[in-house]
Structure 1
Amino acid sequence: MQSLIPYICKLQSVFETVEMENIIDLPQIVVVGSQSTGKSSVIEGIVGRDFLPRGTGIVTRRPLLIHLIHTPLDDHQRQGLKFMLDDWATFGHLPNKNFDNFQEVCDEIQRETNKRVGTQSAISDIPIYLKIYSAKVVNLTMIDLPGITKVPVGEQPPDIEKIIHNMIMKYIQKENSIILAVTPANADFANSESLKLARKVDPNGNRTLCVLTKLDLMDDGTDAKEVLMGNVSPVKLGIIGVVGRSQADINADKTVKECLEKEVNFLNKNYPELAEKNGIPFLTTTLSEGG
């Protein structure tokens, strides 16, 4: 899948310009999880940038299709750019504008969301298309979807659970998609909502990978070793544990890079025999190899 990403991006760009839904199956990683499971931290860890809106309730209110494009420092696309040695981003709805300030990327995601569905809690299935160019990323296409929820709030319709369920199913039922089922380690693994949905369309788990978040927030005296080893509920593509960037980290202005360093230290201390096959860097490598 790695070598196909530039061509996939070109194909999907055609749909960006006219806001059409993709009418062909293209390889993509669909990120699924309940609210507050750490989806945003996983995505930002893979990207290495803080760029996603955060808050309470449903924050992701439109599908966000993220193309990560590995762009070496000597790549011709950097020529003439004022930020030749830095990362930058573009949006499908603003194809001629480059963003090198990732807080502005976050603001634009919110602005474009509000333009379509208002400032309350309504959602839409019309995607926002974002490309991120960096020398530090691997070539991936990810789709961030609204978090699974049970109870409507604000202007949300009473059947919000069904609406989000149908939106998620539309993406994960595609045979070419890899389902990234995000599940918190400090909750009952057997009741994972993301894995329940994944099993509906991928009962054998051939294209499901579970990300076990918040390893550092488990109760004292407990750990996730049995889950990570697949002894509780096996997932064919594997279960990868991560620490992630908590709200406390965000409040303390810790960068994504600092939190990744914290993750390495945590895994080496608490899961020394499993550390090499867990964490955001291992997850990124696994995804770039197509599972």
Structure 2
Amino acid sequence: MALGELRTTSLEALQNEDQRKVLDIVDKLRRAGLSSVLQRPQLVVCGDQSSGKSSVLEAITEIPFPRKENLCTWFATEIVLRRDFTSSITTKIIPDKNRPASEQENLRSFKKSIADFIDLPGLIDEATVLMGLDRNSQNSTRAFARDVLSIEICGPGRPQLTLVDLSGLIHAENKSQTAAEVELIKDLVNEYISNERTIILAVISAKNDYANQIILKNARKIDPNGKRTLGIITKPDYLREGSDNEKDWISLALNEDIYFELGWHMLKNRADDKHDSSFDERNKSELHFFSKGRYNDLPRTMVGIESLRSRLSTLLNNHLGQELPHLKKELERKLEDTVKDLKNLGDKRSTVVEQKQYLMQLSVKGHDVLKSAVSGHYENSFFGTVDTESSVDSSANLCGLRAVIQFLNLSFAENMRRYGHKHQISKKTGADENIAGLLSLPVKSPLPCGDDSDKDVDAGETANNPPAEDLGLVVPKKLNREEGLQWVLRVLQRSRGRELPGNFNPMLISQLFWEQSEP
């Protein structure tokens, strides 16, 4: 079927004009690349393997997906219906983020456009091989992938809608599907249906007891109240007419067994030998089937593809009305976080001029910080809070340069006062007259050695005034007054010159100072 000839009147039943306007907004978010950060409203078709999921998706969208015997979905397929001025079909692969970077780049490079749905099977085969899922190849190492094949179908009459067809849930591993692949599919399906903005279309087949179908257990676990789950029963034509089994399935469809707030719906897909029939033929066959037997007693709103589209239209409208305010808040919050992150990165510097400006700004800021550190003005955020638990000159407080220098100056002055002299002479008096007679000098007051010359120089040691040994200094030698005068006398005797008796060499003071200040 040529793209220009594809009828879309039944698709348009999914939405009214107001819904299209709302979904236009959602589609703009997708086109802006926000799909990875925002959970968008979408329909997800999921179920057990061979439950008829793809047939349901095909009936809803009226897009002829390729069919092969014994072929199951090996990866998630995203169908993006988008309104545009021109008609087109484009495909791309969204790679699994856990793949190596080289493989991701190779998958992203796959972007193809086709003009007719006839070319769709070949395109999907090409994407399958690229994902490494070609079962006819010996190089294929996997049966399923977390990659997503995105098919975007644009046209002037298209509704804005996203539907996802997921791989079928597998009950047990076999020679074609390993235990790891069974778990992978389970995780993939749960990841999609856990999105609170997703309407779950849980497809189950009447060919198998519904108690044994995994999708019901998973859907009820994730959506326990069934607020966003619609159960879809396929293949009712396999049930024996008038049997108890048929009665049980009709009871399920009436929401009398497993309860979903959104209820249940019944569809009759194409028979195995009718896959080549048109959508009109399919719909007529389905209408005829539900017009007889027990099915004729069921409300028309819960059987057939036409009523399903109407239900989905209402569900989407209500769902969007609930979710869009939350979507707006989430978008605003993420925008705020992004703006904050961009602000933390600073001004852009992609050009040489911007880089020069950035370096100049850094230089000015660095100069201002240094100037504040030297001046002792610590209002800049660079300095942070004062760490009172650490020493002033510790690495934690080094940013306050002026404070550190002041502290070190005071410590230096204290060390000079305590350890800067060679002799510590006490104030105690002794035989001053006798010694003075030897010098032929009058008795004078003691040598100035500080107010605490009689005190122990090591007394009062603190963290700011540690012992002399820790500083590599020598403790002054303690002398009493008599010993101090003897020291002066020895220096006097060894520095006499041509001065008259009773006088002393003027260099005596210098000699005494040089020796006393040796430390």
**What range describes the TM-score normalised by the shorter chain of this pair?**
0.7 to 0.9
| SS in structure 1 of the partner of residue 260 of structure 2 | coil
Whole-Å Cα distance in 2 between the matches of residues 67 and 126 of structure 1?
Answer: 16
Q: Give runs of aligned pairs for residues 228-239 of structure 1, distance below 5 A.
A: 228-239=253-264
Distance 2:25 2:239 in 1: 42
* Aligned ranges 1:240-251 → 2 under 5 Å: 240-250=265-275
* 1:47–1:137 contact (8 Å) kept in structure 2: no
- Aligned-partner Cα distance in 1 for 2:156–2:265: 24
Higher strand share: 1
40 and 96 in structure 1: CA distance in 2 versus 1, 3 angstrom threshold: closer
Q: Aligned match of 1:267 in 266, 272, 290?
A: 290
Structure 1 residue runs without a partner (length 5+): 79-87
Structure with the bigger percentage of helix: 2
- 2:79 corresponds to 1:66: yes
Matches within 5 A, 1:150-229: 150-153=171-174, 156-222=177-243, 223=246, 224-229=249-254
Equivalent position to 1:279, from 300, 304, 310: 304
How many angstroms apart in 2 are the aligned matches of 1:247 and 1:66? 24
Any stretches of 5+ residues in structure 2 without a counterpart?
1-18, 94-108, 136-141, 317-519
Deviation at 1:226, TM superposition (A): 1.4
**CA gap 1:138/1:218 in 2 versus in 1, 3 angstroms:** farther
Matches of 1:201 and 1:244 in 2, distance apart? 28
TM-score in terms of structure 2 length: 0.48
Q: CA deviation at 1:146?
A: 0.6
Deviations 1:126-185 (A, max 9, x none): 211112246776543111111111334556433222111101111111111111100012
**2:204 match: secondary structure:** strand
Residue in 2 aligned with 1:105?
Answer: 120
Q: Which amino acid aligns with 1:76?
A: F
Distance 1:201 1:56, change over 3 A: same
- Of the three residues 49, 58, 74, the one matched with 1:35 is 49
**What is the alpha-carbon distance in structure 1 between the residues aligned to residue 212 and residue 176 of structure 2?**
28
The residue aligned with 1:119 is 134
Q: Aligned residue for 2:486?
A: none
Moved more, 126-135 or 101-110: 126-135
State the shift of 1:216 in Å: 1.2
Residue 12 of structure 1 and its aligned partner are, at CA, apart by: 2.8
Structure 1 residue 192, shift from structure 2 partner: 2.7
Percent identity, aligned pairs only, is 29
- Could you list the per-position Cα deviations for residues 53-74 of structure 1 after superposition, in whole angstroms to 9, with x for gaps in the alignment? 44325x21121111224x5xxx
Tell me which amino acid in the other structure corresponds to 1:286.
R
Aligned match of 1:89: 89
Moved more, 93-102 or 136-145: 93-102
Structure 2 CA distance, aligned partners of 1:136 and 1:258? Answer: 23
Matched residues in 1 for 2:110 and 2:29: separation? 15
1:140–1:288 contact (8 Å) kept in structure 2? no
Q: 1:214 to 1:233 in 2, by over 3 A?
A: same
Corresponding residue of 1:254 = 277
Deviations 1:213-270 (A, max 9, x none): 01111123233321221112221111000001232212xx222321111001111223
Note closer, same or farther for the CA distance 1:257–1:114 as it changes in structure 2 (3 Å cut).
Answer: farther
Higher mean alpha-carbon deviation, 147-156 vs 223-232, is at: 147-156
Higher relative contact order (CA 8 A, sep 6+): 1
For residues 94-152 of structure 1, give each alpha carbon's deviation from its aligned partner in whole angstroms, at most 9, with x where no partner exists.
99854342131132122212211230252111211112246776543111111111334
SS in 1 for 2:216: helix
- Helix, strand or coil for the counterpart of 2:119? helix
Partners of 2:169 and 2:125 lie apart in 1 by: 19
Amino acid at match of 1:89: I
2:23 and 2:121 map into 1 onto residues whose CA distance is 24
Report the RMSD for the aligned CA atoms in angstroms: 2.6
Question: Distance in 1 between the 2:35 and 2:269 partners?
Answer: 32
Q: How many residues align?
A: 271
- Decide whether the 8 Å contact of 2:74 with 2:133 is kept in 1: no
Aligned to 1:85: none
Which structure has the greater CA radius of gyration?
2
